[in-house]
């Protein structure tokens, strides 16, 4: 099903990398460096890392290593390297239409890295941000998105999550929220998800059609595709 879809919400919760900030080439280079350090397959590291915290990546692929040391190593690299970060298409215009109490960033990265990437991309940091430092269980667990909703004082049913990673998408749906996936031509998403989901290829397909103190009307454009129970 395709066409225009209108969702009314009170808050929009954004993943960071690949949704607001195009940092994927930078992240890819850092992951390659870490993979080579541990003599791991680069493709395996990339697949495992997408949407996960560094601690979870290290535990999955180098369980014999000290996880705190691995996190410190990777975050040390990330804190000093921001070249190439830029806003994803449509990101600046979309968040500019939202009041500070109507949006948050929910990322698997650390707070300093997230703020550095937003700054490097020329995007504002939101008042509410949930990072790897703030949760016990990262995505795909719903905890990060539940914490963001609580911080904003918004019921989960009134939140819309925007994600580009399957683990983050699963977290948003498990939290009881509606989901927009920025997936491009990734054909695996419809089979992997069930719930109130709309797929788009860019934030440019999403507009704020109206807003007030207690609502945000999102218009998902003609290229948006409902893949599972998206509704109107």
Quote the pLDDT of residue 97: 94
Distances (CA, A) of 4 to 18, 58, 231: 23, 42, 11
Instruction: Please choose, from the candidates 221, 182, 185, 195, the residue with its C-alpha nearest in 3D space to the C-alpha of residue 89.
Output: 182
* Distance from the Cα of residue 131 to its chain's centroid: 11
pLDDT tens-place string over residues 89-139: 999 999 999 999 999 999 998 899 999 999 999 999 999 999 999 999 999
Terminal Cα-to-Cα distance of the chain (whole angstroms): 11
What contacts 170, CB < 8 A, 6 or more positions away? 139, 140, 193
| Same domain, yes or no: 44 and 76 | yes
**Domain count along the chain:** 2
Instruction: Please choose, from the candidates 232, 162, 172, the residue with its C-alpha nearest in 3D space to the C-alpha of residue 204.
Output: 162
| Same domain, yes or no: 122 and 162 | yes
pLDDT band at 211; cut points 50, 70, 90: confident
CB-CB contact of 132 with 107 (8 Å): yes
| Same domain, yes or no: 30 and 106 | no
The pairing of strands 178-182 and 197-200 is parallel
CB-CB contact of 84 with 26 (8 Å): yes
| Same domain, yes or no: 74 and 181 | no
| Same domain, yes or no: 163 and 72 | no
Place of tokens 């009170």: 10
Q: Which helix (H) or strand (E) holds 54?
A: helix 54-61
Quote the pLDDT of residue 32: 94
Task: Report, as residue numbers or ranges, the catalytic residues.
Answer: 15, 17
| Same domain, yes or no: 58 and 172 | no
Instruction: Please choose, from the candidates 44, 59, 49, 62, the residue with its C-alpha nearest in 3D space to the C-alpha of residue 17.
Output: 49
| Same domain, yes or no: 30 and 90 | no
| Same domain, yes or no: 104 and 181 | yes
Q: CATH number for the domain including 175?
A: 3.40.50.1000
Q: What is the pTM of this model?
A: 0.80
| Same domain, yes or no: 71 and 115 | no
pLDDT band at 190; cut points 50, 70, 90: low
| Same domain, yes or no: 66 and 139 | no
pLDDT tens-place string over residues 144-161: 999 999 999 999 999 999
pLDDT band at 192; cut points 50, 70, 90: low
d(CA 22, CA 19): 7
Domain boundary among 64, 80, 96: 80
| Containing structural domain, residue 62 | 24-80
| Same domain, yes or no: 17 and 33 | no
| Same domain, yes or no: 158 and 200 | yes
């Amino acid at each position: 099903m395709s066409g225009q879809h209108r969702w009314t919400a009170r808050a929009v919760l954004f993943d960071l990398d690949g949704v607001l900030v195009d940092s994927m080439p930078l992240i890819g280079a850092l992951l390659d460096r870490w993979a080579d350090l541990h003599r791991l397959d680069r493709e395996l590291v990339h697949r495992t890392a997408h949407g996960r915290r560094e601690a979870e990546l290290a535990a999955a692929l180098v369980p014999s290593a000290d996880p705190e040391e691995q996190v410190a190593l990777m975050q040390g690299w990330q804190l000093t390297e921001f070249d190439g970060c830029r806003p994803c298409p449509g990101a600046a215009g979309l968040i500019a239409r939202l009041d500070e109490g109507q949006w948050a960033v929910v990322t698997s990265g650390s707070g300093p890295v997230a703020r550095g990437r937003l700054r490097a991309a020329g995007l504002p940091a939101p008042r509410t941000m949930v990072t790897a430092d703030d949760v016990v269980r990262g995505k795909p667990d719903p905890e990060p998105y539940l914490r963001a909703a609580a911080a904003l004082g918004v019921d989960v049913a009134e939140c819309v999550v925007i994600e580009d990673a399957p683990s983050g998408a699963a977290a948003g749906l498990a939290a009881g929220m509606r989901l927009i996936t920025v997936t491009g031509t990734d054909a695996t998403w419809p089979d992997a998800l069930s719930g109130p989901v709309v797929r788009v290829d860019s934030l440019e397909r999403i507009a704020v059609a109206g807003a007030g103190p207690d609502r945000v009307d999102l218009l998902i454009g003609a290229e948006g595709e409902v893949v599972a129970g998206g509704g109107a």
